[in-house]
Amino acid sequence: MGSCCQAMCNVQKNTNVRVSLPVVCFVWQIAMVILFGVFIRYDDESDAHWEEYKAENNITSDIENDFYFRYPSFQDVHVMIFVGFGFLMTFLKRYSFSGVGFNFLIAAFGLQWALLMQGWFHALDPNTGKITIGVESLINADFCCAGSLIAYGALLGKVSPVQTLVFTLFGVTLFAVEEYIILDLLHCRDAGGSMVIHAFGGYYGLAISWVLYRPKLKLSKRLNGSVYHSDLFAMIGTRLPPLETACKSRQATSDSPRFTGTLFLWMFWPSFNSAITDHGAGQHRTAINTYIALSSSVLTAVAISSLSQKRGKLDMVHIQNATLAGGVAMGTAAEFMIMPYGALIVGFLTGIISTFGYLFVTPFLEKYLKLQDTCGVHNLHAVPGMLGGFTGAIVAAAATESVYSKQGLIDTFDLEGKFENRSVGTQGGFQAAGTCVAIAFGLVGGALVGLILRIPIWGDPADDNCFDDEVYWEVPEEEESIPPVLEYNNHMINKHHELSESNFSVEQS
């Protein structure tokens, strides 16, 4: 029956990716090999010439290798990218393979392309024409993937694996450009990426989703509801909810993996924000501020969630998402002297705003703006990221020498070289401008990439085939395991039947 349904769907769309997916994977992977061969080399701290470098730079101990400053944070970031983001996308009843699996694919491809793109913009040695990489490059590559993974959150269930690779290719490219403009040209500070990662990634995904609007997404779910009735899967409670109820039903499925995602994001966010900040007090302070902001988000998300439901019950969607808003919103300001109470306030407000977003804004966007945002990235990334950018601008503009010390001010805002004379007020203005650049890149870039994704060659699913792992995965035949129930029932009924055919007597053991 499943295959019958699929045949029906295929009239509309061809989801066969047996040629396109392998071809894209191979072509891009081969391109990566060639480009890595031409461009990428180890940096001074990871090259075998390290002993010479140490001697030249009067480094007394191996422990001063950047590896030891950043590797633990890198591993935490890595866990956030693959487990955190991946498991946060496992809430749809029949889409957990794709949630985790395509997240994995996006990140594994994206990080290679990011090493190149970010390398060309930030680490190209003009003499040798080579990009040199170290642990900080790996962190930045992970960050760069995060932008595309956030965008995937808005598109979850509605795109093919080939499309994920396409929007990742463009997403990483756009990321590297906007990052160059914001961090280098505008000379903003944005260590945890409120602007460059979250605001950009969120609006990028939303813009793509808006262009890919599927008007029949809800309707088809209801019309084809029978598909699931006749599907054996439905029997063990895996019927797919229409998108409009997905928000409500998401906890129905695999909540514990999803909570794993939430918790690993929540716990490791201090590492995310501090991973590439200044050695010493910079990393230290960033981690503290993020830790504090996140704890505050939890309480206000709980409060608003409880307020919004009858009998004060909590909604798992809020708890699994809005509690993270404080981390997003501290991406820029966490390395500044925002003070512990400042961090608490940021977490306090964004926890509220994000929960309201899940309650009111996502339904509004879908209904009136035709914007289908599967994971609610608008509330978790786009808006908190934008707020984080402006928070950074305000905190930067309010910086004083008495709080930071003269050297501290220079270090924190990197006011050296040609930016030596920039005032903190000006810096604040540039921070705000940077936020706008990130949003603009996300919206315009996303709209263009959305148009590319509409070309009907990528094997995307039909409207009535979305949110279904079976389209792109060899899902095991559950008939093997289900039939006993049916068999038993059928058996009983048949038996009943046979026996009663003559005189209606049934016996069962």
Q: Can residue 280 be called a binding residue for a second copy (CB under 8 A)? A: yes
Where in 335-364 is the site for a second copy (CB under 8 A)? Answer: 337, 339-341, 344-345, 348
Least distance between a second copy and beta carbon 497 (Å)? 6
User: Which residue carries 């514990």 as its tokens?
Assistant: 256
Where in 156-185 is the site for a second copy (CB under 8 A)? Answer: 161
Nearer to a second copy, 116 or 439 (CB): 116
Q: Can residue 226 be called a binding residue for a second copy (CB under 8 A)? A: no
Q: Which of 2, 8, 105, 444 binds a second copy (CB under 8 A)?
A: 105
Coil, strand or helix: which one is 223?
Answer: helix
User: Which residue carries 């932008």 as its tokens?
Assistant: 147
Nearer to a second copy, 406 or 418 (CB): 406
Instruction: Find the part of the chain contacting a second copy (CB under 8 A) among 390-398, 406-414, 420-428, 449-457.
Output: 406-414
As a whole number of angstroms, the distance between CA 292 and CA 230 comes to 50
Q: Which of 4, 7, 63, 457 binds a second copy (CB under 8 A)?
A: 63
Least distance between a second copy and beta carbon 188 (Å)? 18
Least distance between a second copy and beta carbon 476 (Å)? 4
As a whole number of angstroms, the distance between CA 56 and CA 448 comes to 49
Least distance between a second copy and beta carbon 50 (Å)? 3
Q: Which of 5, 89, 135, 382 binds a second copy (CB under 8 A)?
A: 135
Q: Can residue 140 be called a binding residue for a second copy (CB under 8 A)? A: no
Coil, strand or helix: which one is 421?
Answer: coil
As a whole number of angstroms, the distance between CA 289 and CA 341 comes to 9
Q: Which residues contact 349 (CB under 8 A, 6 or more apart)?
A: 300, 387
Cβ 377 vs Cβ 324: under 8 Å: no
Cβ 171 vs Cβ 151: under 8 Å: yes
Q: Which two tokens stand for residue 432?
A: 């705000």
Least distance between a second copy and beta carbon 33 (Å)? 5
Q: To 10 degrees, what angle do helices 161-179 and 20-39 make?
A: 30
Q: Which two tokens stand for residue 30?
A: 């081969």
Coil, strand or helix: which one is 181?
Answer: helix
Least distance between a second copy and beta carbon 382 (Å)? 24
Q: Which of 138, 196, 206, 386 binds a second copy (CB under 8 A)?
A: 138
Nearer to a second copy, 165 or 365 (CB): 165
In angstroms and rounded to an integer, the radius of gyration of the C-alpha atoms of the chain is 25
Q: Can residue 32 be called a binding residue for a second copy (CB under 8 A)? A: yes
Q: Which residues contact 199 (CB under 8 A, 6 or more apart)?
A: 381, 382, 385, 386, 388, 389, 435, 438, 439, 442
Q: Can residue 489 be called a binding residue for a second copy (CB under 8 A)? A: yes
Quote the DSSP letter at residue 80. Answer: I
As a whole number of angstroms, the distance between CA 261 and CA 264 comes to 5
Q: Which of 177, 443, 447, 499 binds a second copy (CB under 8 A)?
A: 499
Q: Can residue 288 be called a binding residue for a second copy (CB under 8 A)? A: yes
Q: Can residue 31 be called a binding residue for a second copy (CB under 8 A)? A: no
Q: Which two tokens stand for residue 311?
A: 């009998």
Q: Can residue 490 be called a binding residue for a second copy (CB under 8 A)? A: yes
Least distance between a second copy and beta carbon 130 (Å)? 11
Chain-centre distance for alpha carbon 137: 19
Least distance between a second copy and beta carbon 207 (Å)? 27
Where in 464-483 is the site for a second copy (CB under 8 A)? Answer: 471-478, 480-482
Q: Which amino acid is at 64?
A: E
Instruction: Find the part of the chain contacting a second copy (CB under 8 A) among 27-35, 204-212, 365-373, 384-392.
Output: 27-35
Q: Can residue 279 be called a binding residue for a second copy (CB under 8 A)? A: yes
Distances (CA, A) of 479 to 170, 189, 235, 485: 41, 55, 10, 10
Instruction: Find the part of the chain contacting a second copy (CB under 8 A) among 15-23, 202-210, 359-367, 427-435.
Output: 15-23
Least distance between a second copy and beta carbon 327 (Å)? 12
Instruction: Find the part of the chain contacting a second copy (CB under 8 A) among 106-114, 176-184, 422-430, 447-455.
Output: 106-114
Q: Which of 366, 373, 411, 463 binds a second copy (CB under 8 A)?
A: 411
DSSP E strands in 111-254: the ranges are 131-133
Where in 414-473 is the site for a second copy (CB under 8 A)? Answer: 459, 471-473
Quote the DSSP letter at residue 124. Answer: B
Cβ 173 vs Cβ 116: under 8 Å: no
Least distance between a second copy and beta carbon 177 (Å)? 22
